[in-house]
A and B are shown apart, each in its own frame.
Chain A
Amino acid sequence: MSDRELRVSKIRNGTVVDHITAGQALNVLAILDITTESGETVSVGIRVPSDRLGSKDIVKVEGRELSQDEVDVLSLIAPAATINIVRDFDVVEKHRVERPTEVVGVLSCPNRHCITTEDEPVESRFDVLDDGIRCTYCDTIVRDNIAEQIDVA
């Protein structure tokens, strides 16, 4: 890809989340709990041309590596995403996301009577189904708009 098409600067240390489903970049930021207040240096590309996907989103976060829980949820909204770990400008690790069997934390249960929505010392947990996710505690199934369940603190 030439410099004319994509002007997003390289990062020194951090994570590049590439091949994000077009239109999902802001949800990826939400999963990573990144806001304008949170202080990271972040570059975001939305609907940039991609050989593999036609168009894609891309997120580069300086000084941050992702937790497994964050990657698990990310895989649900951006199943083709690749995670590149960058150290001193070099990609030292690169892998595709894998659909997990369950996701812990990050999402919140949409059932307002679910115990996980109360002030209890418990993280949300969802089993991953073929076509959605299901709360391990209250059994509520979410099929559409999983991104709406991202827990924004």
Chain B
Amino acid sequence: MSHDHIISAKQLSRADIEEVLDRAAEVAEDPESFADRHENTLLGLLFFEPSTRTKMSFTAAVKRLGGDVVDMGTVESSSVKKGESLADTVRVVEGYADALVLRHPSEGSAQMASEFVDVPLINAGDGAGQHPTQTLLDLYTIRESAGFDDLTIGIMGDLKYGRTVHSLAHALTTVDADQHFVSPKSLQLPRSVRYDLHEEGATIREHTELEPVLPELDVLYVTRIQAERFPDESEYREVAGEYQIDTETLEAARDDLTVMHPLPRVDEIAHDIDETDHAHYFQQAHNGVPVRMALLDLMLGGDE
């Protein structure tokens, strides 16, 4: 892994991705052999927005490597509340930790923060921008369940503001996946993501309905449509209802369709799917630990 910081899925080559996923597979196979790999390593957690999965799985990951965390805590309890800039905060915290994990509501925050620190910095979500470690665990899940060869994937929901979608779509260009994007017109991919996909020569198609494309899919990646993206509650309910799936919807799908979701879900995936073989979203969330262990191990010099 030749990167000092992990800011965007755009920086990850196919080789980078395979390296992390291969290491993650080794971790999953034999976690014990990694247990004291990074004793005394401290990971600085700077979460300026609430997080459950990402924060807990980074914590679990570094602890399972023998290290520990130093956590800024909530914004309300920190000096950010006193008006400290992000640039100052990261410069202070880099003195306490061997690597930093940053989640921040502003797009480009991780890029900027990385310019002020010498320790490795990992973007754990910057506004509607990027979420590259989610992408790595998504790719791990896809590789385990469907494989990368001749992959056809549908990505559905909020494609405009969904940072997991932006990161994943770009990373999927490295494996030449056929990508179908399913969303209401108002939540289609932003211009910058289209631009990148076009530049990479990706095969993408956009739809407003899932039905016509569902039978072709190896993977269906569902994301949450948030009420605050709509002018009023009734419009939200009407639109969001069209992008919910249940076992009846999936009757038209292939038997081996993998259904994924970055979680948390609200009601876009009905609970009756949870017990079917299609449901991979909890396993996907669990994969966050070995994948983040692998990434930390590589970034912190696990081969030395």
Chain B binds chain A:
yes
Residues of A in contact with B (beta carbons under 8 Å apart):
111, 113-116, 118-122, 134-141
CA distance A141 to B191 in the complex (A): 7
Q: From B129, which residue of chain A is reached at the shortest CB distance? A: A138
CA distance A119 to B109 in the complex (A): 12
Decide: A120 near B107, CB < 8 A? Known: A113-B128, A139-B192.
Answer: no
Q: From A143, which residue of chain B is reached at the shortest CB distance? A: B191
Decide: A140 near B112, CB < 8 A? Known: A111-B107, A120-B87.
Answer: no
CB B86 to nearest CB in A, in angstroms, measures 6
Please tell me the size bucket of the interface on B.
20 to 34
A-B contact pairs, 15 of them (CB 8 A): A111-B107, A113-B106, A113-B107, A114-B107, A115-B86, A115-B104, A115-B111, A116-B112, A121-B87, A134-B192, A135-B108, A137-B108, A138-B108, A139-B193, A141-B192
**B192 pairs with A140, CB closer than 8 A:** yes
CA distance A137 to B129 in the complex (A): 9
CB B160 to nearest CB in A, in angstroms, measures 13
0/1 string, B103-119, CB within 8 A of A gives 1: 01111110110010000
Residues from 153 to 181 in B contacting A, C-beta threshold 8 Å = none
**A118 pairs with B129, CB closer than 8 A:** no
CB A24 to nearest CB in B, in angstroms, measures 25
CA distance A122 to B91 in the complex (A): 14
CB A129 to nearest CB in B, in angstroms, measures 8
Decide: A119 near B85, CB < 8 A? Known: A113-B127, A113-B128, A137-B112.
Answer: yes
Does B96 have its Cβ within 8 Å of any Cβ on chain A?
no
**B85 pairs with A139, CB closer than 8 A:** no
Q: From B199, which residue of chain A is reached at the shortest CB distance? A: A129
**A138 pairs with B107, CB closer than 8 A:** yes
CA distance A41 to B214 in the complex (A): 67
Decide: A120 near B111, CB < 8 A? Known: A139-B129, A140-B192.
Answer: no
CA distance A142 to B47 in the complex (A): 30
The 8 Å CB contact of B105, one of A113, A122, A137, A141, is A113
Q: Which residues of A are found within 8 Å of B230, using beta-carbon distances?
A: none
